[in-house]
């Protein structure tokens, strides 16, 4: 039977860990965004000694489960190089690195969508490589990727329960603790599901609205 009293009792405890879950998501996302950009550039580099190894490593990270990478961060690093990370930092780095490989692909598609003529005009006007990236290429390649980036943010948010495996006290971890002390798992887990839904759904709507606006803008730009 569903126990309403119990539900109201544990709700505040679950809500209390919402901020940490969001903080973990956001910091991991920012980390992934920051790492994804140089990753995309390295993968595109003409220098094979840079592009091939970086592509291989990124591929490896993307094709292995996140949880294994988290375990490496938490269990292998302390014994191998004596580096002990807090669950939050390890979670941020692990989730961030994992998703940076996806985001680098998003960047890459954004960069490749910029016509070759933009590079050539930049050369003809004698912009340095740095200025070409900063003033010509990136300002054109980032805006169209924003909706996709938003979707990855939501995906990362939904991935945070994985971080409970490295003892980060987020929603799922809290629900498990509550459930194991009262044996009322249904209420706790249902609430976790609902909280995720309540937070992701509006974000998803926001992303969709953004997407529609981008398309409208592209459409108007295409009209001469």
Partner 1 sequence: MSQNIKNFSAEPIVRYRNVTKVFDQRVVLKRLDLDIMPGEKIALIGPSGSGKTTIARLLMTLEQPTSGTIEVNGELLWHMQHKGKLITANEKHLHRMRSSIGMVFQHFNLFPHMTILRNVMEALVHVRKIPKPQAQQRALELLQQVGLQDHIKKYPAQLSGGQKQRVAIARALVMEPKILLFDEVTSALDPELVGEVLDVIKGIAEKKDTAMLLITHEMDFAREIADRILFTDGGVIVEQGTPEQIFENPQSPRLQAFLTRFLKERQYGLASETAAAGAE
**Stretch 140-159 residues interacting with partner 1 (CB under 8 A):** 140
Residue 118 binds to partner 1 (criterion: CB under 8 A): yes
Nearer to partner 1, 93 or 137 (CB): 137
Residue 167 binds to partner 1 (criterion: CB under 8 A): no
Residue 124 binds to partner 1 (criterion: CB under 8 A): yes
Give backbone dihedrals phi and psi of 115, rounded to 5 degrees, phi first.
-60, 150
Q: What are the Cα distances from residue 66, in Å, to 73, 91, 92, 128?
A: 11, 10, 12, 39
Nearer to partner 1, 82 or 219 (CB): 219
Interface region with partner 1, contact rule CB under 8 A, candidates 13-21, 126-134, 150-158, 159-167: 126-134
Residue 127 binds to partner 1 (criterion: CB under 8 A): yes
Q: How far is the CB of 4 from partner 1 (least distance, A)?
A: 55
Residue 125 binds to partner 1 (criterion: CB under 8 A): yes
Nearer to partner 1, 82 or 117 (CB): 117
Q: Of 120, 167, 185, 212, which lies in the binding site for partner 1, with binding defined by CB under 8 A?
A: 120
Distance from C-alpha of 213 to C-alpha of 199, rounded to nearest angstrom: 22
Q: How far is the CB of 54 from partner 1 (least distance, A)?
A: 21
Nearer to partner 1, 81 or 222 (CB): 222
Q: How far is the CB of 139 from partner 1 (least distance, A)?
A: 5
Residue 208 binds to partner 1 (criterion: CB under 8 A): no
Residue 46 binds to partner 1 (criterion: CB under 8 A): no
Q: What is the DSSP string of the chain?
A: ---HHHHHHHHHHHHHTHHHHHHHHHHHHHHHHHHHHHHHHHHH-S-HHHHHHHHHHHHHHHHS-HHHHHHIIIIIHHHHT-----HHHHHHHHHHHHHHHHHHHHHHHHHHTS-HHHHHHHHHTT--HHHIIIIIIHHHHSGGGHHHHHHHHHHHHHHGGGGGGGT---HHHHHHHHHHHHS-HHHHHHHHHHHHHHHHHHHHHHHHHHHHHHHHHHHHHH--
* Number of shown-chain residues binding partner 1 (CB under 8 A): 22
Q: Which positions lie near partner 1, rule CB under 8 A?
A: 115, 117-118, 120-121, 123-129, 131, 135-136, 139-140, 220-224
């Amino acid at each position: 039977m569903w126990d309403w009293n119990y539900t109201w009792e544990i709700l505040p405890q679950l809500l209390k860990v919402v901020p940490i879950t969001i903080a973990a998501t956001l910091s991991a996302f920012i980390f992934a965004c920051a790492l994804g950009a140089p990753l995309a550039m390295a993968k595109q580099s003409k220098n094979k000694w840079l592009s091939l190894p970086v592509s291989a490593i990124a591929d490896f990270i993307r094709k292995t489960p996140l949880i294994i990478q988290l375990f490496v961060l938490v269990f292998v690093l302390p014994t191998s190089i004596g580096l002990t990370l807090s669950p939050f930092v390890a979670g941020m780095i692990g989730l961030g690195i994992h998703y940076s490989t996806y985001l680098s692909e998003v960047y890459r598609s954004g960069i490749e969508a910029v016509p070759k003529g933009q590079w050539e005009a930049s050369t003809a006007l004698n912009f340095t490589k740095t200025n070409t990236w900063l003033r010509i290429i990136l300002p054109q390649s980032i805006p169209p990727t924003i909706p996709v980036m938003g979707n990855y943010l939501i995906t990362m948010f939904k991935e945070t329960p994985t971080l409970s495996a490295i003892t980060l006290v987020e929603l799922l971890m809290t629900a498990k603790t509550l459930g194991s002390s009262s044996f009322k798992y249904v209420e706790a887990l249902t609430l976790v599901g609902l909280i995720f839904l309540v937070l992701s759904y509006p974000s998803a709507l926001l992303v969709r609205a953004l997407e529609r606006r981008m398309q409208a803008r592209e459409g108007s730009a295409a009209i001469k």
